[in-house]
């Protein structure tokens, strides 16, 4: 949760410094602008706030299992994510998009810390809150790198966030194929593991 707090704080700080024109800058992710990128990551704050703890056993073993389940939706799932980001961005002004990473994010983090990290029901299935928080760390990290590609020098991505994102992505990767690719040996298609 501390790492997620740091990342959401970075999103807040960068957003406060964005010029009006930068909100319309292409993000490099399809037709998304910086505005849609903010909406996509910011929806994670609201989504996390809406999760309800349950007595269920986890269906998903870890953060990689969450992404593996969503990856199974293919192009249809990707378009649903893109449409949700566009709709969220259209319904909120820049102040609201940035504000999601301030007060609402602080409340979500405080609530999770106060109630523990039990099992919650997500769109991919029931999982431990600590594993779900790691999915938000990956999203915030990957998309912060996307943001920095078009708004260079805005902030440093914390090394622990990069490491945790790599861990999740490595868990999504066929180990033998990854080893072959990483050591310069012939391998089948390994990447991308998450799109």
Q: Using one digit for the tens of pLDDT, what is the confidence trace for 25-56?
A: 999 888 899 999 999 999 999 999 988 788 88
Please report the pLDDT score of residue 97 as a whole number.
96
Distance CA 118, CA 51 (A): 11
pLDDT in tens, 130-158: 999 999 999 999 999 999 999 887 788 99
**The two structure tokens encoding residue 138:** 């990956």
Angle, vertex CA 137, rays to CA 133 and CA 142, nearest 5: 150
Please report the pLDDT score of residue 139 as a whole number.
96
Distance CA 130, CA 127 (A): 8
pLDDT greater than 80 at residue 15: yes
Where b means 16+ CB within 10 Å and e means fewer, 8-31 reads: bebbbebbeebeeebbebebebee
**The two structure tokens encoding residue 165:** 């994102």
Please report the pLDDT score of residue 147 as a whole number.
94
Percent of the chain with pLDDT over 90: 66
Give the domains, in start order, of the chain with CATH numbers: 2-182 (1.20.120.450)
- 173's CB contacts (< 8 A; 6+ apart) are 190, 191, 193
- Is the pTM value of this prediction over 0.95? no
Please report the pLDDT score of residue 17 as a whole number.
94
Sheet holding 125-128, edge to edge: 53-54, 119-122, 125-128
pLDDT greater than 80 at residue 117: no
pLDDT greater than 80 at residue 14: yes
pLDDT greater than 90 at residue 161: yes
Whose CA is closest to 7, among 138, 131, 132?
A: 138
The secondary element (H helix, E strand) that includes residue 112 is helix 103-115
Distance CA 24, CA 195 (A): 23
């Amino acid at each position: 949760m501390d790492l997620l707090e740091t990342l959401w704080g970075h999103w807040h700080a960068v957003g406060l410094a964005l010029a009006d024109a930068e909100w319309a800058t292409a993000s490099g992710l399809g037709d998304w602008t910086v505005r849609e990128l903010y909406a996509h990551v910011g929806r994670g704050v609201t989504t996390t706030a809406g999760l309800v703890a349950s007595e269920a056993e986890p269906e998903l073993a870890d953060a990689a299992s969450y992404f593996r389940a969503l990856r199974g939706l293919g192009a249809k799932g990707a378009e649903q994510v893109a449409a949700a980001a566009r709709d969220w961005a259209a319904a909120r002004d820049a102040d609201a998009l940035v504000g999601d990473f301030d007060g609402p994010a602080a409340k979500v983090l405080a609530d999770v810390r106060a109630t523990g990290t039990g099992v919650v029901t997500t769109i991919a299935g029931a999982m431990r809150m600590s594993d779900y928080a790691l999915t938000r760390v990956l999203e915030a990290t990957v998309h912060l790198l996307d943001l920095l590609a078009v708004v260079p020098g805005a902030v440093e991505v914390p090394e622990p966030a990069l490491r945790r994102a790599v861990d999740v992505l490595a868990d999504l990767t066929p180990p033998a194929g990854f080893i072959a690719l990483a050591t310069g040996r012939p391998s089948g298609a390994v990447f991308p593991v998450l799109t």
